[in-house]
Amino acid sequence: MKTPKAIATLTLILFCLGLAHSQQTPENYPTFSNAVYQGNDNVYNDYPLADGEFYNPILQGCYPDPSITRKGDDYYMVTSSFAMFPGVPIFHSNDLVNWTQLGHVLDRKSQLKVADTGISAGIYAPDIIYNPHNDTFYMITTQFAGGIGNMVVKTSDPREGWSDPIKLAFAGIDPALFFDDDGKAYVIHNDAPEKALYEGHRVIKLWEYDVSADQVIKGTDQVIVDGGVDISQKPIWIEAPHIYKKNGRYYLMCAEGGTGSWHSEVIFVSDKPTGPYVPADNNPILTQRYFAKDRKNKVDWAGHADLVLGPDDRYYGVFLGIRPNEVDRVNTGRETFILPVDWTGAFPVFENGLIPISPKLKVPAGVQNKTGQEGYFPNGNFTYTETFQSEMLDYRWIGLRGPREDFIATSQKGLEIRPFAVNIKEVKPISSLFYRQQHKKFSFTATMDYSPSSEKDLAGITCLQSEKFHYVFGITRKGDEQYLVLERTENGVSTLVGSDKLTANGPVQLRVEAKGDAYRFSYATKGGDFQNLGGGVSGDILSTNVAGGFTGTLIGLYATTANDVKPE
């Protein structure tokens, strides 16, 4: 039995805990009742689909480094996610045209250790593969965070979640698994040579893999490609390897040339999985590097591919590419494309992958294009409206460096963001819910109800390329008055673009619009007309080839109690 003194002490502790919680919890969380994304790229208006056609890319926005596998009539595809949380989005299709997102492979903190890393670290180049010998799916990747490095996770059903990571005992990046017909398994990956002969010199290394122990077999590693197709030409960044077996021979496909404008896909062949591998005479088998820089509807940087047998018994390859805007900036990031592959000859070749890539292509025989219908991912131009009323938030909304569930809650009013005392410039989990920019010409409008309590409080929207390159457009306080502010941060240096005093109470609509490189931020109160703040601003800082890194622009619903934007 507790004594009166013990009860009093316990009561005091509980009171202090409650007081601490009340001090950390503002009375008025920013609440978003809806968000509407609308994409309207000219290319989709200029090239309407006819029956039996679908658009490329198949995943618009920052979905790079695709990998694909097949079990029966089911196709599963994954892409890189870097420091986004959850990580490694996974998609399902029965026909390679119509895709649904099943969720994410890495959806727990025990799997994803990105809380203290920059946006372009974290998860690189996931490879997904089905092993028919033990009816198991594997996802192998490099996690540049948390001291993990190369790792693998497994599942018997991609719809039911994945194991915690198994750390693998080798260096390098871009690992992939290959399971031979006899049940033997191998890991291949990019690695540094023993002695680099030039900048960008890399090798492809192979290990035997112990399936029962889920580990490479020590001492079995060997270099199977040195430099690339022709080392005398000093090829750079041979990476993203995959092995395929066809007609008793082993085909090694790799990316070469770096992930920028010289990117390509090359192929080698061997009579044994361990090599020696001989390059094809007609390499590269996919690239966009030879064409006019000012070509119409430009697709560039094509490479980092993976092959799969399609529903029509033809091969197809998924790969990354970009669609730069009118000043050659890459705000939508690296996207996932697909092309049929002609493998009637000795080597596979991407059909129309050595000419400028077209915005649309034919569906596989017997397939109907249902994108944007019946729960399938939209494609081309579309409008996505989110009212935040569903029991489960759409998988397209993601956090950065930490779970979205750590800072969001739903109510009858919509989505509440419970802000962290962390601002968007910090390399920590931030209280921002993100949606990928998927078009060069788009608008994103969010309706927010919010009354900041102090100058440290801010909520609104953001367009973010990284912690050092972004725009913040939100409501804060100066003295007794509320202000709407627009801040530009370039390479970590922030500038106030504009500020307006808010005189009306109640919900505010916040909007960002882009037409290529030209962005505009505006707001409306009490159903009034939208008013621009800050004039037209450049999207330069939202471009991969300005900000660096590997991501595309993320549009966020953002809140913080560590605001440093000062209105004028």
Q: What is the pLDDT of residues 327-349, one digit of tens each?
A: 999 999 999 999 999 999 999 99
- Burial class from Cβ neighbours inside 10 Å (0-12, 13-18, 19+) for residue 264 reads buried
> Which strand (E) or helix (H) includes residue 128?
strand 122-131
Catalytic one of 107, 127, 191, 239: 239
Q: Among 464, 462, 496, which Cα is nearest to 478's?
A: 496
pLDDT at position 5, please? 41
Mean pLDDT along residues 178-199: 97
CA–CA separation, 455 and 446 (whole Å): 22
Strands 481-490 and 414-417: unpaired
Query: Would you state the structure tokens that stand for residue 287, as one six-digit string?
Result: 């690239």
Under 8 Å between Cβ of 203 and 196: no
Mean pLDDT along residues 118-136: 98
Q: Is there a catalytic annotation at residue 455?
A: no
Catalytic one of 41, 65, 265, 449: 65
Q: Is there a catalytic annotation at residue 65?
A: yes
Mean pLDDT along residues 199-226: 98
pLDDT at position 410, please? 87
Could you give the 3-state DSSP secondary structure of residue 34? Answer: strand
pLDDT at residue 19 is higher than 60: no
What residues pair up with 78 in beta bridges, in sequence order? 67, 90
CA–CA separation, 173 and 125 (whole Å): 8
Confidence of residue 110 (pLDDT cuts 50, 70, 90): very high
pLDDT at position 27, please? 60
pLDDT at residue 116 is higher than 80: yes
> Which strand (E) or helix (H) includes residue 169?
none
Residues 6+ apart with CB under 8 A from 251: 243, 244, 245, 267, 268, 269, 347, 348
